[in-house]
Amino acid sequence: MTEAAWGKAKVALQTTVGQNNYKNWISPLQLMSIGGGVAHFSVPTSFAGTWVERNFSDQLLHALADAGAGAHRLDFSVAEAATAAPNNTNATPPPAARIAAAAAAAEKDQPSASLDARFTFDSFVVGKPNQLAYSAARRVAEGGHVTFNPLFLYGGVGLGKTHLMHAIAHQLSVDRPDLKVVYLSADQFMYRFVRALREDGTMEFKELFRSVDVLMVDDVQFLAGKNSTQEEFFHTFNALVDQNKQVIISADRAPTELKKIEDRIASRLQSGLVVDLHPTDYELRLGILQKKVALYKNDYQGLEIGENVLEFLAHRITSNVRVLEGALTRLYAFGSLVGKEITLDLAQDCLVDILRASDRKVTVEEIQRAVSEHYNMRLSDMIGPKRHRTIARPRQMAMYLAKQLTSRSLPEIGRRFGGRDHTTVMHAVKRIDELKLADSQLADDLQMLQRMLEA
């Protein structure tokens, strides 16, 4: 019965969800059973389950009902064979999963964009550079008498503007559920406005935005050059300020510095309180990392990270908190993947693209120079015919390093060592590989040279 119904439902679904979606998402589903109003499906991966549930629930339920197998809820479980993870880790899914759930919960027609559950006042690390902005945001989040309107937050990329705005929204939703709070980015404001224009819904649009109690618009610099949207934004803004409703704006620069924004709008934007978030200092960055590590304790149980790694990151990644936090997240992801403690060496390895200014490749000539300097010999002897051991051994080491650190072929390396044969290079590589195990001094020298060349 279920099988026949599912077959029928699948045929209908091909048209309702479209061929592509059908092939990717519906056809791998297997209907296991229907009972108690719940349809149980087996899916290849947990993501597929989440995705189908979020995007195709209605169509699925509808198709099942039409096929005579009514259910009011869907349940997805991962097929046994597919759960064999490629690499076993002791970590639970990262917090990102929680956001996805929050995003899914957000109703489509709500004017407010979804909020990141992680961005609360509790998780905001306060330091000298952001103290003022933090205090102003907290004040606004009390939802009491409007003292400064608008609150204009600005600062460079990744310094916490969005975090503070989400935190205000979270706080208000707890303390003042009676208030209608709308948070969205400037481009979302624009998309909605353009859609309203197209669908002849400008009246609803105006009503919607002018009936809110707290309006937050993020990244207002994206309105640059978009004149009609700016105009609409300006009217909304004025209407709300006139009604004494709180408006909070953020941008990546001060109101006066905004380009392609009309002067009258820019001047209105600075009529309230303008606060900037300064670039972070070392202490603040370290504080941010420590807070993040505390949060990760639960998600990545048993994964250790040294304090020296945090100090290193806080010291080296100075420009941007987003990149700083991203680096830490990458280290956790990598550590849990390979099941290793996150040491300084591992961090340097894993983050080489951020830490180093360029991908410069080591050349054979640089290797020859470095090795001859290290052993106090002339560069010309590197490529010359001398066979004395004090010269031949460093030459072999240089050949070995050339094989390891460059992508040159053996014949090519031979040519660059005074036209030697590729078998000579091969012999050198083999010889050094053996010596490395027996001679710890040589192994140390090699490691030091390699580090120096790659730095």
Q: Which residues would be at the binding site for another protein (CB under 8 A)?
A: 20, 24-25, 44-48, 50-51, 54-55, 85-87, 89, 91, 93-94, 96-97, 99-101, 103-104, 113-114, 156-158, 185, 187, 219, 222, 252, 320, 322-323, 325-327, 329-330, 333-334, 337-338, 353-354, 358-359, 406-412, 422, 426
| Contact present, 133 and 155 (Cβ < 8 Å) | yes
Residue 8 or 408: which CB sits closer to another protein? 408
User: Minimal distance in Å, beta carbon 168 to another protein?
Assistant: 19
How many other C-beta atoms can be found within 10 angstroms of the C-beta atom of residue 52? 23
Calculate ∠ Cα 443-367-356, nearest 5°: 90
Q: Is the peptide bond before 95 cis (omega within 30 degrees of 0)?
A: no
The least CB distance from residue 208 to another protein, in Å, is: 19
Residue at token pair 């460059």: 406
Nearer to another protein, 179 or 197 (CB): 197
Do 111 and 154 contact (CB within 8 A), yes or no? no
Neighbours of 186 (CB within 10 A): 22
Contact criterion met (CB below 8 Å) for 27 and 10? yes
Exposure string of 69-86, with b = 16+ CB inside 10 Å and e = fewer, is bebeebebeeeeeeeeee
Whichever of 329 and 348 has its CB closer to another protein, that residue is 329
| Burial grade of 221 (CB within 10 A; 0-12, 13-18, 19 or more) | middle
Residue 208 · residue 127 · CB < 8 Å: no
Q: Is 161 annotated as a binding residue?
A: yes
67 is written with which tokens? 């096929």
Which C-beta is closer to another protein: that of 124 or that of 222? 222
Is 260 or 378 the residue whose CB approaches another protein more closely? 260
Give the nearest distance from C-beta 378 to another protein in angstroms. 28
**Residue closer to another protein (CB basis): 16 or 320:** 320
Under DSSP, is residue 184 helix (H, G, I), strand (E, B) or coil? strand
Shortest Å, Cβ 364 to another protein: 12
Minimum CB separation of residue 388 from another protein in Å reads 28
Question: Can you spell out the DSSP letters for 227-281?
Answer: HHHHHHHHHHHHHHHHTT-EEEEEESS-GGG-TTS-HHHHHHHTSSEEEEEPPP-
Closer residue to another protein in complex, CB, 276/412: 412
229 is in an annotated binding site: no
Shortest spacing between CB 224 and another protein, in angstroms? 11
Q: How far is the CB of 436 from another protein (least distance, A)?
A: 17
Choice between 68 and 339, CB closer to another protein? 339
Whole-number Å distance between alpha carbons of 354 and 322: 12
CB of 242 to another protein, least distance (A): 31
Question: Helix 307-316 vs helix 282-299: angle between axes, to the nearest 10 degrees?
Answer: 130
Cα four-point dihedral sign 130, 131, 133, 139? positive
Question: Which C-beta is closer to another protein: that of 18 or that of 144?
Answer: 18
For the bound state, the minimum distance from the C-beta of residue 155 to another protein, rounded and expressed in Å, comes to 11
| Nearest of 122, 125, 230, 142 to residue 186 by alpha carbon | 230
The span from the CA of 96 to the CA of 16, in Å, is: 30
86 vs 385, beta carbon nearer another protein: 86
314, burial (CB in 10 Å: exposed 0-12, middle 13-18, buried 19+) = buried
Q: Which token pair is 426?
A: 């091969």
Question: Is 158 annotated for ligand binding?
Answer: yes
- CB of residue 63 vs another protein: minimum separation in angstroms? 19
Residues annotated in a binding site for ATP: 158, 160-162
Residues annotated in a binding site: 158, 160-162
